[in-house]
Structures are given as C-alpha cells and as structure tokens.
Chains A and B, each alone.
Chain A
Amino acid sequence: MTWSRTPSRPDAGIKVTGAARYTEDIRHEDLLFAAAVRSPLAAARIIRVGVDAARAADGVHAVLTADDLPDRRWGTLIQDQPIPARDAVRFAGEPIALIAAETAAAARAAAARVELELEPTEPVVGIAAAFKDGAPEVIPGRPNVGPVARVRRGDVDAAFRDATHVVRTRIESGRVYQGYIEPRATLAEPEPDGGIIVTTTSEAPFVVRAGLAALLDLPMSKVVVKVPVLGGGFGGKLHLGLAPLAAVLCQATGRPVRIVATREEDMHACNPRQNSVVALESAVDADGTILARRSRVWLDSGAYAFDTPAIASLATLLATGPYRAPALDLQTWPVYRRTPARPVRHALRPARRWCTPTRRTSPTSPTRSASMPSRFAAATFARGRSRAIRRATQRCRHRGLRGRGHRPHRAMATGERGHVAETRVRDRLRLVDDDGNALGRDRRDERGRHGHALDRRD
C-alpha cells in the first residue's frame, strides 16, 4: 500500500477550518486601508490628475500620484514599470493614484473623488498590431518587438533543401489567467529604523525584497518580506505585485498600510500567461527522422518588459528538445502591447507542446490534404441546423459574451449527440490505437470518418 508512506498535510486543518491567516487576515491596530485609482483606458496621455477633493475627504491620510514620488521603475530584467503611471498609461487597469485611508470604504470613496483627465491615444492590441508599419511605440524610444533569443546549430538550409518532407505548424494561444483563489494583497509596516516589513502574497519573497529595496532606495537589510499562508500562485505571484503600492503609502503615512485587490482588479492588472504565436517547421527524411527544425515564436509581453525577455529565452531553450535534431534555428521575440503579461504554471510550455503532436501528424503531402475536404463534405454536417447554431455561438463572442455564450448549449453534456475519439499523445508523437498500431488517415478510413466513432444515442 502506498498510503502508509503518505505524510499528512500539516496545514490542512487550519485551511479547512478557516483558521489559516492569509495576508488579508493579518490585523493591525493602526492599519490604514489602501485603494488604487486605475486607468479605464489602455492607452492615454495623462493630462491631469485632480487629487484635492480626495485629499480633503474624511479619513484620508495620503493620496499619491507619480508627481509625489521619485521616478524609479521596476521589472525583472528591464526596469521600465513605474509605481503609479507617469505621464502616460500603458494598459487598462494601470494604477494612476494611490490612496490610504482609515477604512476601506473611506479609501474607495476618496478614489471616486480623484479626477482623471486622460487623452486617449491609439492602443496597440494584438501581436500583429505591434508589427504594423507606423504602429505607435508602446514605450517611446523602444521598438515594439524586443531583441531575439536565438539558438542556431548546423546547416539548417541544407537540411530543409534535402528533406523528404517539410512539416509546418503555426498555432496561436490566448492569454490565460492563473486563477489563484486568493487575489493579491500586501501589508506594509514601517520599522522605527526607517526600514519596512512587507507581508505579501508572493511566490518569491527574495525577488520582492530586491525589487522593493531598489524602488525605495533602501539597503536590503532594511527590507523584510514575509509570506504567510498563500492561496495559490501558478506563476502569477512571482513578482512585486501590490508590494510597491503598499510600500510607498506606508512610507508616506508612517503607518501600516494594507492593499487587497478585488478579483476584477486582479484580472485587469494581473500578469496572465502571454498569448503567443508559435511557428514551427521540421525537415524530416523518408522514415520520419527529424533532420532540422526552425521555430519562430512571438510572445506578447504586455505593456512592460517584465520577465518576457527571460521567457523568450526559455521558449528558445525548450525548442531544442525533446527530440534530437542535428540542425536548429530557433528564435523567440517579446512583443510589447497594451496589456500586462507574465508567466503561468509553466510559462509557454502548453503552447509549445501544443505544436508538437501536429508536427508528425499533419504532413503537407498534397495528395493527402486534397483528399481530406471531399471526404469531409461527403460525411459531415448533414444537419442544416449545425451551422446556424454555431453562428449563434460565434455571435456571442462578438457581443463580448464569450464566457456565458457556450453555457446554454447542453446537447453534448447530456450525451445526446456527438462522438467519442480516443487519442494518445506519446513521447515519440505517434497516434496509436488500443493495440499500439499507428493511427494514420488510412487506418481511420477503414473505420469510417470518426476513427473510434461511437454514437452516444445508442
């Protein structure tokens, strides 16, 4: 029995009973509550931020904008992100003003009294848009496409020239939110010696310490970062998060300050997995041996560099495997646009791996690709309703109802219609059936259009 060697989770009891103390649960006598005024626009010049009314509001201790703070920036490899936006906003949800007040309600009320005068500029949305001639620079003076991370080996061109087959795959992946249950939160407390103690929802407290020390111009010995019980991270809490906001408010007021993101704030101003475009070409010989690979990957970095240059390195490194190829030319670029982006429980790998099985299974042999559509026509979509229902599904997206859009369609969930497919993805990327035989189109033909098709109505 394997159960006997299973250690029990020492934190299970406090989590199940609700006794566990997360960042938000830490109480403090003099605690001030923070709120951030965030940009409703993805791209704008900041003309004026009117804070007088907010400063005069009841219970308000501090209202900070970029004008009240030195121009120090943060970021993993390139320090380009201001604490509140300075001169311009670069993504919707970027903080513009920070408030500390006696109660959370007072902070929110004061936030509503901050006047934002923003001049909209053209947002750069989508990886393709960042490439367009004349696309505005997301960060002035920096090209929207960052420096390449590249690995080259062998004579790639020759391998492609001599290959029996060339397999090309191009996939697009969307942005994915980490979906941790505990939204981000930070408590910053002043120390009598001028230092600061920061309790925060972090997966990497030493990264936060280094970043805060630089932002606050303090020696690292004066910055202590603690992580209490954490409600998940999935890569979304590897960075400074809300710590800079709480820290500058703490310094401005000399009081402990806590900031807690709402789910909506967290999702607007978070660090989702980069959406990406992954293009992969493999030169293979007659028996399927890979002779060479080329990859080109574009990662949506969001408005600031953050760690996307490092993720670009990772994407390139991962493309060197898992299969041996004598010749390689692998390139990845970070692309800047108007939304923040960072890693999720394995940065990029799902998109990269998604590419892999199609490599062997979608050969670009002209005879095969021509035969597929006619077979499709003969067998598929006899029901006229299908197209109409799918159109309705697609309209949901155009109305911005993506999430709710597919909920009412229950036909499949109840098993009334549809077919069952079985597929295994093997290390060596063969599709096989239950007996271990290779599943190619030919075999599928023998068994009809759906392979293991099984009518659920029976």
Chain B
Amino acid sequence: MLSTGATEIGTGAIVTGVTSIAAKELGVPAEDIRLVSADTGDTPYDSGSKGSRSLYGPGNAVLQASREAAKLLREEAAEQLEASPDDIVLEDGSASVRGDPSGPSLPIAKVVQGALNRTGPIVGAGRFKAPAVTLEGSNLEGLFFASLNQATWGCHGVELELDEETGRIQVLRYVAAHDTGPVLNPTGARGQIEGGVVQGLGQALTEVMDVGADGVVRNANFVDYRLPTIVDAPRSIKTVMIESHPAATGPLGVKGVGEPPVILPPAAGGAAIRDLLGAQPMRLPLDAVNVSEFLDTLEAQAVVGHAR
C-alpha cells in the first residue's frame, strides 16, 4: 500500500507517477500497489497539488519511503536466500540474488511473510521539503516565502495566421520543447504538454473574464467565455522532451511538467504577431477585440507617420 496526502487532480502524477516510483524501487508491478491518497484521516501531510510539484515533492517522499521499505525487503530476502542484502535484486515481483539468474528466487509476498514472522512488517516513510532559493547579496522585503521547485525550462514555436480584417488568429502548427529530465511516463508527459499548450493558447487568444463597469462578470458560462475547442487547437503540436539534464533534487532526476507548457504560448503567439506586423500587442488575450484595436493603433500611427 502506498499512502500519500497528495491529490490526484487528473494529471496522472499520483496514480501513475509516484506509484511507478514505488513500483520500481520495490520491484513489483504498479498494478499490485494499492494507492490511498488525499485523505487527512488516513494519509500523511501534503501541501497540495500545485506548482508542478506532485511528481517532484511527493515523488521525493515516496522514493525515500520506498527505498526504506526495499532495504527491509532485501534484508529479509538475504536471510531467506542466504546471501548478502547488497546482492538481492527486487524485480518483477520477486527477490533473487544478483548474478545468479538460475538461482533461487522468492515472491515478494513470501519475503514479506518471512519479515512478519521474524522482524515485523515492511514499512518505510519519507518526507521532503523543496530547498530555499538562494538570493545572495539581495535585500528582501515583504516576501512570504522564498522557495521554488526545480525549474523545467522550455522553448515553444508557433505558426499562426492572422486575419487582418477581423483581428482573429488561427494557430496552425506548434512545437513545444521542454527540459524535462528523465520521463517516467512518456504518454502522460506528452498529454500534459499538449493539454498545457492548448490551455495556454486559450489564455493567449480567447479566454478572459469580462468584468463590466459594475464589477459583475458578464461571461459566466462556457458559451461566452471561450475555452479553446478542438477547432481552435493547432493542427499539430510537436512535443520534444529533453531527457539529458536530470533534476538535481527531483526523484530519479525527474522534473514537473504540469505548468511549464502553459507559460509560453502567450509569449510565442505575441512574438509571431510581432513577426507579422513589426510590433507586438501589449494586452492579453490576443482575441479579435484586442488585436483589432491593436491593428487600428498601428494604422493610426502609420497615418501620422506618413503625414510627416
């Protein structure tokens, strides 16, 4: 059983991410692990699924706990297999002796049963706190916290089409590269990046809560608040994951990828507009209204410039 206070919010970071870390360390299939999470009555503390930290923070704690449990498993298996604990390999649900593929092996369940009889249950615990940011020589004022998780750098490129008559933008192709470090789950990570790009393009191009002069939100529904649909999504999103730079403090070198892909689409879109028009609009979102106002501004400047 894996017990963590972390919450699965739909990204897969808990149900597959941290679970696969435990599975790898314990040498058991992930589907054999019962996950209990996000329950203040039954699970240890977690500060929340935020800041791209679910795989990073809880992942580090799970790694530590799993290694502690794996150490107990190896010690018990070493007793039963008459070998050194350092030579015990935990893999495919059983314990065997390294370098002796034809030798005896024990199912993990049998190792656990032996431990129950001999020394006690196999339990490991782990905890983690992200290291504080160092801001040497800086004068800090009014900062409520000073720690950030391991950064995941990124680089996005976009090809888009601008309708000069309406100010509307259509994104044609997109490429998103991220310095992810080792990837535990390529399909999951790609899903996070593709979803993040589409969400980021929504924020770049159409999404804004329209607050009237009376302070009341005027588009409190999904008809008038324009989330991107499949029609708005780029025809292709190419994701590139650079695995060659593992995180110094991430579990098994991994980094979070929940938020990074959402950050760049507005910047990439704005830079593409700049490439088209020679000037960059300074108000988000780049919806038809803001872009057409921007086009008017440029046109007015052009008239003035021409008169000179």
| Residues of A participating in the B interface, judged by any CB pair closer than 8 Å | 2-3, 5-11, 40-43, 77, 91-93, 123-125, 147-154, 169-177, 179, 197, 202-207, 209, 223-227, 229-235, 237-238, 263-264, 267-268, 272-273, 309-310, 312-314, 316-318, 320, 322, 328, 337-339, 343, 345-346, 349-351, 353-354, 356-358, 361-362, 370, 372-378, 380-381, 383, 385-387, 389-391, 393-394, 396-397, 400-406, 409, 411-413, 415, 417-427, 431, 439, 441, 444, 449-453, 456
CB of B207 within 8 A of CB of A226, answer no
CB of A203 within 8 A of CB of B284, answer no
For the complex with contacts A238-B48, A350-B284, A386-B295, 15 further pairs of A-B residues with Cβ separation under 8 Å are A152-B141, A172-B284, A174-B207, A179-B227, A205-B40, A314-B145, A373-B298, A377-B305, A389-B165, A390-B166, A406-B167, A412-B161, A417-B164, A418-B170, A424-B156
Number of chain B residues close to chain A: CB under 8 A: 133
- A227–B7 alpha-carbon span in the complex (Å): 7
The 7 closest A-B pairs by CB, nearest first: A204-B48, A42-B215, A373-B305, A403-B224, A412-B163, A377-B302, A174-B208
Given contacts A171-B282, A370-B305, A400-B218, contact A431 B271 (CB under 8 A): yes
| B185 in contact (CB, < 8 A) | yes
- A380–B278 alpha-carbon span in the complex (Å): 11
Which of A173, A229, A338, A353 is packed against the most chain B CB atoms within 10 Å?
A353
| B240 in contact (CB, < 8 A) | no
- B144 CB contacts on chain A under 8 angstroms: 77, 149, 309-310, 312-313
- A357–B156 alpha-carbon span in the complex (Å): 12
| B28 in contact (CB, < 8 A) | no
| Chain B residue with the shortest CB-CB distance to A235 | B50
- B181 CB contacts on chain A under 8 angstroms: none
CB of A422 within 8 A of CB of B162, answer no
Pick the contact of A387: B221, B287, B289, B299 (CB < 8 A).
B299
- A234–B15 alpha-carbon span in the complex (Å): 17
CB of A394 within 8 A of CB of B185, answer no
- A226 CB contacts on chain B under 8 angstroms: 38-41
| B58 in contact (CB, < 8 A) | no
CB of A418 within 8 A of CB of B164, answer yes
Minimum Cβ distance to chain A for residue B228 (Å): 9
| Chain A residue with the shortest CB-CB distance to B273 | A421
| B223 in contact (CB, < 8 A) | yes
- A389–B161 alpha-carbon span in the complex (Å): 17
Pick the contact of A354: B212, B266, B298 (CB < 8 A).
B266
CB of A357 within 8 A of CB of B271, answer yes
Q: From B84-92, B98-106, B131-139, give the one contacting chain A.
A: B131-139
- B122 CB contacts on chain A under 8 angstroms: none
CB of A409 within 8 A of CB of B267, answer no
Question: Can you identify 10 A-B contacts, CB atoms within 8 angstroms?
Answer: A202-B7, A226-B39, A320-B138, A351-B266, A373-B304, A393-B166, A400-B212, A409-B288, A418-B170, A431-B271
CB of B278 within 8 A of CB of A372, answer yes
- A411–B305 alpha-carbon span in the complex (Å): 30
Pick the contact of B305: A197, A203, A376 (CB < 8 A).
A376
| Residues of B participating in the A interface, judged by any CB pair closer than 8 Å | 5, 7-10, 12, 15-16, 19-20, 30-31, 35, 37-41, 45-52, 133, 135, 137-146, 148, 151, 153, 155-170, 172, 183, 185-188, 196, 199-200, 202-204, 206-227, 231, 258-260, 262-268, 270-280, 282-285, 287-289, 292-293, 295-296, 298-299, 301-306, 308
CB of B188 within 8 A of CB of A450, answer no
Given contacts A179-B199, A351-B284, A425-B155, contact A381 B289 (CB under 8 A): no
- A425 CB contacts on chain B under 8 angstroms: 155-157, 264, 267-268, 271
CB of B298 within 8 A of CB of A339, answer no
- B264 CB contacts on chain A under 8 angstroms: 350, 353, 425
- B260 CB contacts on chain A under 8 angstroms: 346
- A92 CB contacts on chain B under 8 angstroms: 214-217
- A319–B231 alpha-carbon span in the complex (Å): 35
- A11 CB contacts on chain B under 8 angstroms: 8, 15
CB of B225 within 8 A of CB of A267, answer yes
CB of B275 within 8 A of CB of A396, answer no
Pick the contact of B295: A41, A390, A424 (CB < 8 A).
A390
CB of A233 within 8 A of CB of B161, answer no
Pick the contact of B259: A316, A345, A351 (CB < 8 A).
A345
Minimum Cβ distance to chain B for residue A109 (Å): 22
Minimum Cβ distance to chain B for residue A96 (Å): 15
- B135 CB contacts on chain A under 8 angstroms: 151, 153, 317, 320
CB of A451 within 8 A of CB of B275, answer yes
| Chain B residue with the shortest CB-CB distance to A456 | B161
Minimum Cβ distance to chain A for residue B178 (Å): 11
Minimum Cβ distance to chain A for residue B180 (Å): 13
- B7 CB contacts on chain A under 8 angstroms: 202-205, 227, 230
- A9 CB contacts on chain B under 8 angstroms: 12, 15-16, 188
- A91–B216 alpha-carbon span in the complex (Å): 8
- A320–B222 alpha-carbon span in the complex (Å): 37
Minimum Cβ distance to chain A for residue B7 (Å): 5
CB of B274 within 8 A of CB of A176, answer no
Minimum Cβ distance to chain A for residue B306 (Å): 4
CB of A377 within 8 A of CB of B306, answer yes
CB of B46 within 8 A of CB of A376, answer no
| Chain A residue with the shortest CB-CB distance to B259 | A346
- A383–B163 alpha-carbon span in the complex (Å): 12
CB of B222 within 8 A of CB of A263, answer yes
Minimum Cβ distance to chain B for residue A279 (Å): 10
- A450–B282 alpha-carbon span in the complex (Å): 19
Minimum Cβ distance to chain A for residue B263 (Å): 4
- A405–B226 alpha-carbon span in the complex (Å): 11
CB of A449 within 8 A of CB of B226, answer no
CB of A232 within 8 A of CB of B10, answer yes
Given contacts A179-B202, A353-B267, A380-B302, contact A449 B278 (CB under 8 A): yes
- A338–B153 alpha-carbon span in the complex (Å): 36
- B39 CB contacts on chain A under 8 angstroms: 205, 224-227
